[in-house]
């Protein structure tokens, strides 16, 4: 849209303004003088009332999982700007942002891929690309949007501008943990076959170069890419431990970490799988949610060895670091999902237990970590707390809210 507007403005300029001034050669100039720089014409400012303009850096999107709608919210005002409906089944929805942070690509559980204009508060386009999808990612150049599917499996890749299908990559398996990697690549794990696939779209978006890495482990349930785009971490449900891949290697080789956690303890019923998007690096150490035990695990990034464990109030879902990495905030699966605990990253001890209300599904810090927004699903509200004093400072009414996504994610790899 911006490119089209610029083209229209240029077309409206007088012909003389569109013709570059002749270059002045330097052969006849006196010694020591340089030719004058040619005049460069640029379009005039758009005739728009500045009061009608706004940026997107302070905005976010809250998923309303029960009603197929989303709220566009303003962080500074601690308020909702609008509600957009008609996004289908959002019971396990996620989203990613375009590089300019104007558009959100929402991935619904019904296979819907929706392009949302958060400034206009409207749906730009929507396609049903599969029967059951579980997340997606946008390429580092912002041109491709990929969707991970349970049904029919594999990954589909779309043009971010038009939502036209660019590539369909069957994998014979449910796929999880789809993430972007530097160089117009996507990385995804396969639940049924225990593999990781790297799709390189840099040379030909419609025909990606595919690298398949086997022996990842039994039933990968989720995965994530570190913020520097180097390490892909895969969580395993069918066995203990995790697997990491160094994306600088060619090809990447799987390395197991934490292979022994919980092996001498009885597994508890898993009411909800933890999300590795809540995995974090704090105080130079990996911290991540354990599966089936009430603990947060700490591991050395270099060796992958377990260093410590922190006992927590329930089965952790997200272990989310405050942006300064000084604290980690943890929420839980039922029946403990009314609590949030705060862990000191230095002592690795729980320093605060909060009770925002039943059904705390997600937490999102403002980009510089001053506040944290918590979705309290069962009370139909988003609670806002000061991330240092823990005091409640605001609230936004919402219909069964779940995921909260601020536009700062547009500039971070793996999100």
- What is the reported pLDDT for 274? 61
pLDDT number for residue 409: 95
Range of the domain at 236: 131-257
Q: Rounded distance, CA 225 to CA 282, Å?
A: 16
| 112-148 residues labelled b (16+ CB within 10 A) or e (exposed) | bbbbbbbbeeebbebbebbebbbbbbbbbebbbbbbb
The pLDDT assigned to 339 comes to 98
Residue 377 lies in a domain: yes
* Number of domains, the chain: 3
Q: Note the pLDDT of residue 133.
A: 85
Residues forming beta bridges with residue 156, ordered by sequence position: 147, 168
Q: Which residues of the chain have pLDDT under 70?
A: 1-32, 260-278
What is the pLDDT at residue 278? Answer: 65
Q: Has residue 315 been placed in a domain?
A: yes
Q: Do 136 and 196 belong to one domain?
A: yes
Task: Return the pLDDT at 15.
Answer: 41
8 A C-beta contact, residue 277 and residue 233: no
Sign of CA pseudo-dihedral 297, 302, 304, 308: negative
- DSSP-derived letter for residue 304 is -
What does the pLDDT read at residue 272? 55
Residues 338 and 408 in one domain: no
User: Which residue, among 277, 290, 210, has the nearest Cα to 242 in the 3D structure?
Assistant: 290
Instruction: Flag whether 144 is in a domain.
Output: yes
> So what's the pLDDT on residue 366?
97
Do residues 148 and 135 touch, judged by C-beta distance below 8 A?
yes
Q: Do 92 and 207 lie in a common domain? A: no
Of the candidates 382, 386, 390, the residue with the CA atom closest to the CA atom of residue 362: 382
159 and 244 assigned to the same domain: yes
Q: What was the pLDDT predicted at 206? A: 98
> Which pTM value belongs to this model?
0.87
pLDDT digits (tens, 9 = 90+) for 93-123: 999 999 999 999 999 999 999 999 999 999 9
């Amino acid at each position: 849209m911006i490119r089209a507007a610029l083209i229209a403005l240029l077309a409206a300029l007088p012909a003389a303004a569109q013709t570059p001034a002749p270059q002045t050669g330097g052969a006849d100039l006196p010694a020591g003088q340089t030719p004058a720089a040619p005049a460069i014409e640029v379009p005039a400012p758009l005739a728009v009332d500045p009061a009608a303009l706004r940026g997107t850096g302070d905005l976010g999107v809250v998923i309303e999982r029960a009603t197929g709608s989303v709220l566009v919210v303003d962080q500074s005002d601690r308020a909702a700007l609008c509600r957009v409906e008609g996004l289908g089944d959002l019971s396990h929805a996620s989203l990613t942002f375009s590089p300019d942070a104007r558009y959100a690509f929402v991935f619904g559980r019904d296979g819907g891929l929706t392009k949302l204009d958060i400034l206009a508060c409207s749906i730009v386009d929507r396609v049903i690309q599969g029967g059951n999808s579980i997340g997606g990612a946008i390429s580092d150049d912002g041109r491709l949007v990929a969707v991970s599917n349970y049904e029919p499996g594999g990954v589909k890749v779309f043009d971010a501008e038009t939502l036209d299908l660019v590539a369909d990559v069957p994998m014979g398996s449910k796929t999880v943990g789809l993430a972007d990697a530097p160089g117009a690549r996507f990385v995804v794990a396969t639940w049924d076959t225990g593999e990781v696939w790297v799709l390189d779209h840099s040379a030909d978006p419609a025909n990606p170069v595919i690298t398949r890495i086997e022996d990842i482990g039994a039933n990968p349930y989720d995965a994530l890419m570190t913020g520097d785009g180097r390490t892909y971490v895969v969580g395993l449900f069918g066995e203990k431990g995790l697997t990491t891949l160094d994306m600088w290697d060619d090809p990447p080789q799987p390395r197991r970490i934490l292979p022994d956690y919980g092996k001498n303890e009885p597994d508890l019923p898993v009411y909800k799988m933890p999300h590795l998007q809540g995995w974090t690096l704090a105080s130079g150490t990996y911290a991540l949610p354990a599966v089936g035990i009430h603990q947060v695990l700490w591991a050395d990034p270099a060796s992958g060895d377990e260093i410590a464990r922190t006992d927590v109030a329930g089965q952790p879902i997200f272990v989310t670091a405050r942006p300064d990495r000084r604290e980690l905030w943890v929420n839980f699966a039922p029946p403990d999902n009314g609590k949030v605990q705060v862990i000191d990253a230095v002592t690795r001890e729980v320093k605060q237990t909060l009770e925002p209300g039943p059904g705390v599904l997600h937490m999102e810090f403002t980009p510089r970590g001053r506040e944290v927004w918590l979705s309290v699903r069962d009370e139909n509200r988003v609670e806002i707390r000061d991330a240092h004093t823990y005091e409640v400072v605001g609230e936004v009414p919402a219909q069964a809210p779940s995921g909260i996504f601020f536009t700062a994610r547009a500039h971070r790899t793996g999100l």
